[in-house]
Amino acid sequence: MSKSSFLSRSLGPLVVTAAALTIASTWVADNSRADDLGYANKVVGAALLSKMSKAPLDVGGVAWSGSDTSPAPIKGGKVAIMPCPLAYAVCQYLYQSAADAAKAIGWEAFPIDNKGDPAVAQKGVDAAINKGVNCVLTLASPARDIKAQITRGKGKGIAFVTGFSDDPREFGGDVGYGLDYAAAGSILGAYIIAHGGGGIVVFNAPQDPQLTVRINGFKKFIEQYGGSSAKIIHEEDFSLAQGGPGEITKMQALLTRYPKDSFKWVIAPFDETLTPLLQTAQQRDRTEIKGVSFDGEEVAYADIRKGGPQVATMSWGLEWVAWAGIDECNRALNKAEGGVNKDFPLQITEASNVPGKDLKYDFKFDFKSHYTKMWAAAAAAN
């Protein structure tokens, strides 16, 4: 037997086996990719119809998640409301929603504008304490920035409640509550995978903890389900205090570093921070770049309606979140169980379901009547 014949007969099964393994691994990879894409589509489908943030990602539907009873509202209450910087429309909306809830429960409300600066936040809360407020409600504004003020205020019997951010209990406060921000990020990750994937640039403002949680949820989903089709190619941090100009400078540098078609997507922590990034890309004729973000602001809706570069945003029940904050303030002041407002709705908004001009995300659930009836019943029984 010749050497070549011997090798052929001896190695033949190995060659076939190697080929079979190659085919099998390709089949597994293809099926895994199909499974990931299928799951991403299910996640997007549920979120297009509205869902509770803490429900499984692929399960839709909105339901009441709070308490059915309340302690009596304290009389003549005063609440200081400190949202994220009031230069942003979404932060103005958070304040006004909480102020409306305060009026409904019979309290006086006034704003604190932290301007994205912890030192300003501290001065504002100190002033509120000196005014004799009963509760300090921070919304999308970190409690960690006012640790000393929480300690001082608690000594005077003031309640500290934080929604849509970190947990003030770590610093001596009363209640922290909000949505599952990581789930919101995951949904945007699913959206990009379901829409073809591609290279992604991630912008984050790490000074606000809830923004980082959103972005981390997005990154984790892309890493787990993006496969070879969706990849994060660059991550960039920026400061909210610097505003749009700081973002624009960073985006210009990235567009120079990464030539056309290097990436197709950019994500930012909320809509008003995405806008200058996409405008910069458009000015450089980088029309291949699309954007996704969070908060369901009118600036995002307007761009989606006209077919602009922002193609999706995470809308959520911010008004519900704000009303829950007033409810939690009242519970804390009554030394009742807190943290009963456990979840809130969200939706991925895109061209197929974007609201009309000047309209807000409508999750079609009357949460206000739950609060007003509950508060009225408690007041009547007192």
Q: Is residue 91 a contact partner of residue 240, using CB atoms and an 8 Å limit?
A: no
- Can you give the pLDDT of all 382 residues of the chain as single tens digits? 444 444 344 444 444 454 444 444 444 444 555 789 999 999 999 999 999 999 999 999 999 999 999 999 999 999 999 999 999 989 999 999 999 999 999 999 999 999 999 999 999 999 999 999 999 999 999 999 999 999 999 999 999 999 988 899 999 999 999 999 999 999 999 999 999 999 999 999 998 888 999 999 999 999 999 999 999 999 999 998 888 999 999 999 999 999 999 999 999 999 999 999 999 999 999 999 999 999 999 999 999 999 999 999 999 999 999 999 999 999 999 999 999 999 999 999 999 999 999 899 999 999 999 999 999 999 999 8
Question: Contact 154/160 with Cβ under 8 angstroms?
Answer: yes
Position 367 scores a pLDDT of 97
pLDDT score of 32: 58
Q: Which runs of consecutive H residues, i.e. helices, occur in the chain?
A: 3-48, 89-105, 118-131, 147-154, 181-194, 209-225, 243-257, 271-283, 298-305, 318-333, 367-381
**Contact (CB, 8 A) for 291 and 267:** yes
Nearest residue to 236 (alpha-carbon basis) of 224, 221, 223, 246: 246
What's residue 243's pLDDT?
84
What pLDDT does residue 192 have?
Answer: 99
pLDDT tens sequence across 141-182:
999 999 999 999 999 999 999 998 889 999 999 999 999 999
pLDDT at 254: 98
For residues 141 and 165, what is the distance between their CA atoms, to the nearest angstrom?
6
For residue 89, give every residue at least 6 positions away whose Cβ sits within 8 Å of its Cβ, in sequence order, or none: 272, 297, 298, 299
pLDDT of 207: 87
How many Cβ atoms from other residues are within 10 Å of residue 83's Cβ? 30
Element containing residue 345 per DSSP (H, E)? strand 345-349
Structural domains in the chain, sorted by start: 40-60+181-316 (3.40.50.2300), 78-178+318-342 (3.40.50.2300)
- Is the CB of residue 40 less than 8 Å from the CB of residue 194? yes
Q: How many helices (H) and strands (E) does the chain have?
A: 11, 12
User: 274-296, pLDDT tens digit by residue?
Assistant: 999 999 999 999 999 999 999 99
**Separation of alpha carbons 343 and 181, rounded Å:** 11
Q: Are 331 and 103 in contact (CB under 8 A)?
A: no
Could you give the CA distance from residue 103 to residue 97 in angstroms, rounded to a whole number?
A: 10
Q: What's the confidence (pLDDT) of residue 10?
A: 44
SS3 state of residue 309: coil
d(CA 313, CA 292): 6
Distances (CA, A) of 87 to 37, 93, 240, 278, 302: 39, 11, 11, 20, 19
User: Dihedral through CA 94, CA 96, CA 102, CA 107, nearest 10?
Assistant: 130
In total, the chain counts a number of residues equal to: 382
Please report where in the chains the tokens 């102020």 appear, as a residue: 99
Contact predicate 148/125, CB 8 Å: no
